[in-house]
Structure 1
Amino acid sequence: MMRYWISTILVVTATGAFAQAPASVDSLVKEVQGAVDLRDDVLARVLVKQLTTRPRTFKQWWEVRQILYERPQVGFDYLAKWDRLRPVKAPTSKVERQINTSLTRADALQSQSKFNDAFRMYQIVARHLKKEMRRGSRAPRFLYWTVVHNMARTLYGAGRYLESMEVYEWIPPDYYKFRQVLFEKMWAAFRAKRYDRAMGAIASQQSSYFSSYLEPETYLVQLYLFKKLCRMDEHKKALSNVETIMKRLDPKAGNYRLEEWAQSDVETKVLYKLATAEVPADKNKDAKLREQASIMKALESRFASERRRLESQFKTVLAYSRLSVALDKEIIVTDVVPDRGALMASRREFWPVEDAEDWIDELGQHLYIGESQCAKTEAK
């Protein structure tokens, strides 16, 4: 159920004496800052890529790291990549040593399925990072929410589903894997028997901010819950939606395109925007076009792989859902709920916790208020 486990990235604090930096690298660092100031994110990527091949001091590495963390629109992939390039001989403070040691231990415990112990270690890291953020540093923010994400996952692994759901709800909508967070929150709520929250998480995943397609397992859970609540009209509509998606996923039909898939999560949305951004005619145009081509090639490769996976898993969802109907049993089955506009125009089954537009600030704040119709069905 739980996928895309994120490898934790080490965080450092900028302390200690720095060596004198080579002028050429310093110049590139300044150019990166200049590109970010102008919001020329594609150029920033070009320059950072050049820096990855140059010898760097810790000071230079740290300066670029700060720039990237202030401007994640350059690409979340580059945030992770740059952290992996941290110089071996870097200044290490007491706080940094504590963070790195705890992270290494937490990751090891998680890989050994010692989820409660791993959760406690991630908590220690989160507290340290929170202190750094309160001191005004934004650099730990990316790692902080990655750690919180792993806290929620370890709670889920430990079977503490209600607590896991609550931790998932802490994560903000600008987190680079936020739709994945909603997907995992759905499972935590489902296992905690908080079906209102599970269905709400499904509705949030359907926000117009993202692709209209969801993870196959999301449809499975939704179909199961509609069946459990004896809401057979919704179940039939959901099943019909899955069949429609299956037809669109067929490569011969060609209706499911990279542009739509790229809206699946914040990370891929950012990359697709970079790859399709207009490039003005200037001295860096050729380099920027090459970078865009590189991004698009990576996206196309990932899309092809994801398309095959989705097609295979949707076949399974469809088979289980049809079997459930045939046997009249609650076999886990599901799909996408109707869009919010249609729901509000009919029975208003989904409402955001706060009355607001369906913007990113509202993501993750949906509740399901549809009552069970089982008693009504039995009375007929």
Structure 2
Amino acid sequence: MSVANAAISTTKAVFCTQKGGPEIRDLGQAAAQAPDLGEDEVLIRNVAVASNPKDWKVARWGMFEGIEGNDVAGTIEAVGSKVTRFSEGDRVAAFTRVATHDKYGAYQARSVAPACTTWHIQTNTTYEQAAALNLAFLTAAVGLYVTLGLPEPQDNSQPLPGAQKQGVIVWGAGSTLGDYAVQLAKKSGLRVIAVAGNSAFYVQSLGADAVVDYRSKDAVDQIVKAARSLDGVSWKCVLDAVSENGSIESSVEVMDQLGGGKVITTLASQMEEKRKDTVERYSVGSAYGANGHKSERWNQLVAEWVDRGTFKVHPIKVMPNGLASVPEGIKLLEEGKVHPIKVMPNGLASVPEGMKLLEEGKVSGHKLVFKHLSDP
């Protein structure tokens, strides 16, 4: 069966607009047409897709209007001319390109993804779990190992010499990105101070050396005290997985009190407002392009870790009604009331609901996952 004629379960997709928010549209016959596929890209028939806080932000801030979402899991339907690692029918998950073209959007029946950020789902991993990794996991890896230049996890699971003398502070450790940053840092043998709120107990279970409640009035002082209590450890960086509600200012203040260093945020546009001469400020880099080969390796590692049970997938919440729940899910995220994975039932029908939840900040403690297609 050709890609163009392959039957799909839905012709609908969720579009995000700056003024109207997320809305479900019927693509009609256009949905059955195979999208343009680059030589280094793959076409995935989606079984489960997941949401991220950026899903409501990029449209609201006028950065991109169209089919949103970047976390997908499903089966390979077609591959580009230079792709050799994947074949039709393979179970895969992927981090698609952000805010560039509708074909990369997750909230539809099929999505295009770069081969370098696509990985094979192993036997003991579900589509829902796989969908909850992609963007957040690779963002954490790029931030820690490319932008901050910290030691990477080794294939033999043994940390590099001297890794335990280096530390990283993860602000927003209870978020999906922060969760994965803590786990990756510990896989590298680094010391970790995690900053979290209600998820403090969960974050502690990830192996953080210290956990500080960001809601405390003296949170900055507590972080600095915790860092200084670990003798012989160099604290030269903060990964701010939240990058809002005062976290950037606090991260910069922590680094300044510890003698200076680097702060990485997810929102580059806000960094110039938070200046300290002793602190270098960066935004998280890209998982594609020059870092594509690194992404392939990191995805291979996490696929094996998750399958063996040595890396925790952030708790998920399955949303009902598929894509129809996306708007609600996004609303939860915006309200900070999500992230256990929450699987939204009813597929794409759940997307608008999910986005509304994201936007209103009601997604807390779990990650929203939308299962909108039948398992192959």
- TM-score by length of structure 1 reads 0.28
- TM-score by length of structure 2 reads 0.28
* More strand as a share of residues: 2
